[in-house]
């Protein structure tokens, strides 16, 4: 076996031990540096958390936006009477079929017509005074109601007139709405934020403080109130139906919290 000279072997062993010592020293220095950095970061976080926070001011702003309605919803139907339930139902079914045909003939799409109520009820004779007899059935009444959505508001008066002509003897729940309210809702939200800012500035000025920055903003969304509802008898005229849509309003609110500090 070939052996290195003694002096060269000692030199190699010495260099290896020196390299190991240098590596251990470098590792120890790295660990100390990391520990120091971590300690400083933890100390900074503790100081930040223990720093006094500024007081806050919370206000709620409200915004409104209005527009002329461009669509309407209403209910229409037929009430039929008969001596038997079958007789009342047959008469009602025929009248409702004519009413729906009139709706579709007026250009109302099938997706805008939906059955909203159906009932069959017995009708009783009025009880005689001091009578102990059970109520006596004198006939039956069938009621069938559909809800209608009209996308062209200018045609509402004529459509209501056609409903009565086609056999409908019930019309009600007329409500006006906006087909695409998104832009109106955005306008109401912007107005709500502006109102909140205005209130905060007034309160800060009166209180002798200054608004620093916004901490939180919470939007409560848009609120779309139901359109005005009118009973059909109030609308009916001898020759046509008079309709006034009025104005639709959309509301929005927002809560804003500000950090404040003395002036």
Residue 35 has pLDDT above 60, yes or no: no
Residue-range domain boundaries for the chain: 1-51, 56-67+181-225+248-262, 71-125+136-177
Are the C-beta atoms of residues 85 and 120 closer than 8 Å to each other? yes
- Can you say how many angstroms the Cα of residue 33 is from the centroid of all Cα atoms in its chain? 55
- Residue 47 has a pLDDT of 53
Neighbours of 61 (CB within 10 A): 20
Structure confidence at residue 216 as a pLDDT band (50, 70, 90): very high
Q: How far is CA 52 from CA 46, 97, 221, in A?
A: 12, 75, 34
* Strand 137-150 to 71-82 pairing: antiparallel
Residue 221 has pLDDT above 80, yes or no: no
Residue 48 has pLDDT above 80, yes or no: no
Average pLDDT over residues 13-39: 52
Q: What is the pLDDT of residues 121-144, one digit of tens each?
A: 999 998 888 777 888 899 999 999
Same CATH fold, 71-125+136-177 and 56-67+181-225+248-262?
no
- Residue 128 has a pLDDT of 81
Share of the chain above pLDDT 90, in %: 56
CA 168-170-174 angle, to 5 degrees, is 110
CATH tag for 56-67+181-225+248-262 (out of 1.10.1740.10, 3.30.930.10, 1.10.10.60, 3.30.110.170):
3.30.110.170
Q: What is the pLDDT of residues 75-116, one digit of tens each?
A: 999 999 999 999 999 999 999 999 999 999 999 999 999 999
| Domain 71-125+136-177, CATH class in plain words | alpha beta
Residue 235 has pLDDT above 70, yes or no: no
Q: How far is CA 94 from CA 137, 139, 150, in A?
A: 24, 19, 23
- Residue 179 has a pLDDT of 87
């Amino acid at each position: 076996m070939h052996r290195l000279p003694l002096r060269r072997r000692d030199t190699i062993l010495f260099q290896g031990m020196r390299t190991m010592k240098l590596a251990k020293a470098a590792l120890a220095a790295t660990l100390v540096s990391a520990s120091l950095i971590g300690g400083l970061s933890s100390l900074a976080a503790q100081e930040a958390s223990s720093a006094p926070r500024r007081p806050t001011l919370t206000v709620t702003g409200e915004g409104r936006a209005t527009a002329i309605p461009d669509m309407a919803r209403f209910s229409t139907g037929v009430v039929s009477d008969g001596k038997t339930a079958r007789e009342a139902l047959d008469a009602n079914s025929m009248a409702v079929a004519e009413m729906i045909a009139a709706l579709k003939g007026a250009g109302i799409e099938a997706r805008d017509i939906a059955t909203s109520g159906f009932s069959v009820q017995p009708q009783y004779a009025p009880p005689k005074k001091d009578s102990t007899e059970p109520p006596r059935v004198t006939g039956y009444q069938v009621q069938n109601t559909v809800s209608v959505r009209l996308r062209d508001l200018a045609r509402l008066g004529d459509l209501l007139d056609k409903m009565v002509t086609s056999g409908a003897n019930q019309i009600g729940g007329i409500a006006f709405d906006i087909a695409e309210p998104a832009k109106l809702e955005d306008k109401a939200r912007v107005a709500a934020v502006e109102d909140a800012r205005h209130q905060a500035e007034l309160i800060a000025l009166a209180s002798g403080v200054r608004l620093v920055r916004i901490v939180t903003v919470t939007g409560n969304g848009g609120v779309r109130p139901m359109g005005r509802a009118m009973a059909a008898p109030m609308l009916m005229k001898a020759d046509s139906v008079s309709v006034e849509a009025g104005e639709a309003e959309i509301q929005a609110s927002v809560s804003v919290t500000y950090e404040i500090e003395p002036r």
